Structure 1
Amino acid sequence: MKRLLEILGFLALVQGVAGLVHEFTDRDWGLVRRLGLLDGYEVYASVALLVLGVALFAAAGSRRSA
Protein backbone atom coordinates (compact mmCIF):
# COMPACT_ATOMS: atom_id res chain seq x y z
CA MET A 1 0.00 0.00 0.00
CA LYS A 2 2.88 2.34 0.78
CA ARG A 3 4.33 1.83 -2.70
CA LEU A 4 0.96 2.52 -4.33
CA LEU A 5 0.59 5.78 -2.40
CA GLU A 6 4.08 6.82 -3.47
CA ILE A 7 3.36 6.08 -7.13
CA LEU A 8 0.06 7.97 -7.05
CA GLY A 9 1.74 10.88 -5.27
CA PHE A 10 4.47 11.00 -7.88
CA LEU A 11 1.93 10.97 -10.72
CA ALA A 12 -0.09 13.75 -9.07
CA LEU A 13 3.04 15.86 -8.61
CA VAL A 14 4.15 15.37 -12.21
CA GLN A 15 0.71 16.26 -13.58
CA GLY A 16 0.47 19.30 -11.31
CA VAL A 17 3.85 20.57 -12.47
CA ALA A 18 2.95 19.79 -16.10
CA GLY A 19 -0.26 21.80 -15.80
CA LEU A 20 1.56 24.81 -14.35
CA VAL A 21 4.31 24.60 -16.96
CA HIS A 22 1.65 24.50 -19.68
CA GLU A 23 -0.15 27.53 -18.29
CA PHE A 24 2.92 29.70 -17.91
CA THR A 25 5.04 28.60 -20.89
CA ASP A 26 2.49 27.15 -23.37
CA ARG A 27 4.36 23.86 -23.55
CA ASP A 28 1.92 21.25 -24.79
CA TRP A 29 2.02 18.43 -22.23
CA GLY A 30 0.11 17.20 -19.22
CA LEU A 31 -3.40 15.89 -18.66
CA VAL A 32 -4.96 18.93 -16.98
CA ARG A 33 -5.13 20.89 -20.22
CA ARG A 34 -6.90 18.02 -22.01
CA LEU A 35 -9.90 17.98 -19.68
CA GLY A 36 -12.58 20.32 -21.04
CA LEU A 37 -14.29 20.21 -17.67
CA LEU A 38 -11.45 22.29 -16.19
CA ASP A 39 -11.53 25.02 -18.84
CA GLY A 40 -10.48 28.24 -17.15
CA TYR A 41 -9.50 26.49 -13.91
CA GLU A 42 -6.30 24.78 -15.05
CA VAL A 43 -4.06 26.63 -12.59
CA TYR A 44 -6.30 25.75 -9.65
CA ALA A 45 -6.48 22.12 -10.74
CA SER A 46 -2.69 21.97 -11.10
CA VAL A 47 -2.14 23.43 -7.64
CA ALA A 48 -4.70 20.99 -6.24
CA LEU A 49 -2.76 18.12 -7.85
CA LEU A 50 0.46 19.37 -6.27
CA VAL A 51 -1.21 19.49 -2.85
CA LEU A 52 -2.69 16.03 -3.41
CA GLY A 53 0.74 14.68 -4.34
CA VAL A 54 2.29 16.07 -1.16
CA ALA A 55 -0.57 14.64 0.90
CA LEU A 56 -0.13 11.22 -0.70
CA PHE A 57 3.59 11.26 0.06
CA ALA A 58 2.82 12.23 3.66
CA ALA A 59 0.32 9.36 3.91
CA ALA A 60 2.87 6.97 2.45
CA GLY A 61 5.46 8.16 4.94
CA SER A 62 3.19 7.50 7.87
CA ARG A 63 2.53 3.90 6.79
CA ARG A 64 4.71 1.08 8.02
CA SER A 65 6.78 -0.78 5.46
CA ALA A 66 5.42 -4.24 4.78
Structure 2
Amino acid sequence: MKQLLEFLGLLALVQGGMGLLHEFTDWHVGLVQRVGFLDGYEIYVSVALVVLAIALFAAAESQKSG
Protein backbone atom coordinates (compact mmCIF):
# COMPACT_ATOMS: atom_id res chain seq x y z
CA MET A 1 0.00 0.00 0.00
CA LYS A 2 2.87 2.35 0.81
CA GLN A 3 4.39 1.88 -2.63
CA LEU A 4 1.03 2.50 -4.31
CA LEU A 5 0.58 5.78 -2.42
CA GLU A 6 4.10 6.84 -3.30
CA PHE A 7 3.54 5.99 -6.97
CA LEU A 8 0.25 7.91 -7.09
CA GLY A 9 1.92 10.82 -5.32
CA LEU A 10 4.72 10.82 -7.86
CA LEU A 11 2.22 10.82 -10.74
CA ALA A 12 0.26 13.69 -9.20
CA LEU A 13 3.45 15.67 -8.56
CA VAL A 14 4.75 15.18 -12.08
CA GLN A 15 1.43 16.08 -13.72
CA GLY A 16 0.94 19.09 -11.47
CA GLY A 17 4.46 20.31 -12.13
CA MET A 18 4.11 19.78 -15.86
CA GLY A 19 0.79 21.63 -15.84
CA LEU A 20 2.40 24.60 -14.10
CA LEU A 21 5.34 24.42 -16.48
CA HIS A 22 2.92 24.54 -19.40
CA GLU A 23 1.08 27.55 -18.02
CA PHE A 24 4.16 29.63 -17.28
CA THR A 25 6.43 28.65 -20.19
CA ASP A 26 3.89 27.57 -22.86
CA TRP A 27 5.65 24.23 -23.33
CA HIS A 28 3.18 21.61 -24.46
CA VAL A 29 3.69 19.00 -21.73
CA GLY A 30 1.38 17.26 -19.28
CA LEU A 31 -2.20 16.12 -19.36
CA VAL A 32 -3.94 18.91 -17.47
CA GLN A 33 -4.22 21.25 -20.45
CA ARG A 34 -5.55 18.47 -22.68
CA VAL A 35 -8.67 17.84 -20.58
CA GLY A 36 -11.41 19.97 -22.11
CA PHE A 37 -13.65 20.63 -19.11
CA LEU A 38 -10.69 22.06 -17.15
CA ASP A 39 -10.32 24.88 -19.67
CA GLY A 40 -9.52 28.05 -17.77
CA TYR A 41 -8.74 26.25 -14.51
CA GLU A 42 -5.40 24.66 -15.42
CA ILE A 43 -3.36 26.56 -12.82
CA TYR A 44 -5.78 25.70 -10.01
CA VAL A 45 -5.85 22.03 -11.00
CA SER A 46 -2.07 21.89 -11.24
CA VAL A 47 -1.65 23.41 -7.79
CA ALA A 48 -4.28 21.01 -6.44
CA LEU A 49 -2.33 18.08 -7.93
CA VAL A 50 0.86 19.24 -6.21
CA VAL A 51 -0.99 19.55 -2.88
CA LEU A 52 -2.54 16.11 -3.44
CA ALA A 53 0.93 14.70 -4.07
CA ILE A 54 2.18 16.11 -0.77
CA ALA A 55 -0.81 14.58 1.02
CA LEU A 56 -0.20 11.21 -0.64
CA PHE A 57 3.46 11.28 0.35
CA ALA A 58 2.46 12.09 3.94
CA ALA A 59 -0.05 9.22 3.95
CA ALA A 60 2.56 6.86 2.55
CA GLU A 61 5.02 7.94 5.22
CA SER A 62 2.52 7.21 7.97
CA GLN A 63 2.04 3.63 6.72
CA LYS A 64 4.04 0.87 8.37
CA SER A 65 6.79 -0.56 6.26
CA GLY A 66 6.68 -4.25 5.64
Q: Same fold (TM over 0.5)?
A: yes
Give the number of equivalent residue pairs: 66
Taking the aligned partners of 1:37 and 1:52, their CA distance within structure 2 comes to 20
Aligned position for 2:31 = 31
Superposition CA RMSD, Å: 0.4
TM-score (norm 1): 0.99
Structure 1's unaligned 5+ residue stretches are none
Mark the runs of 5 or more structure 2 residues left unpaired by the alignment.
Answer: none
What percent identity do the matched residue pairs reach? 68
Q: Which residue number corresponds to residue 58 of structure 1? A: 58
Question: Which residue matches 1:43?
Answer: 43
TM (normalized to structure 2)? 0.99
Is 1:7 the counterpart of 2:11? The answer is: no
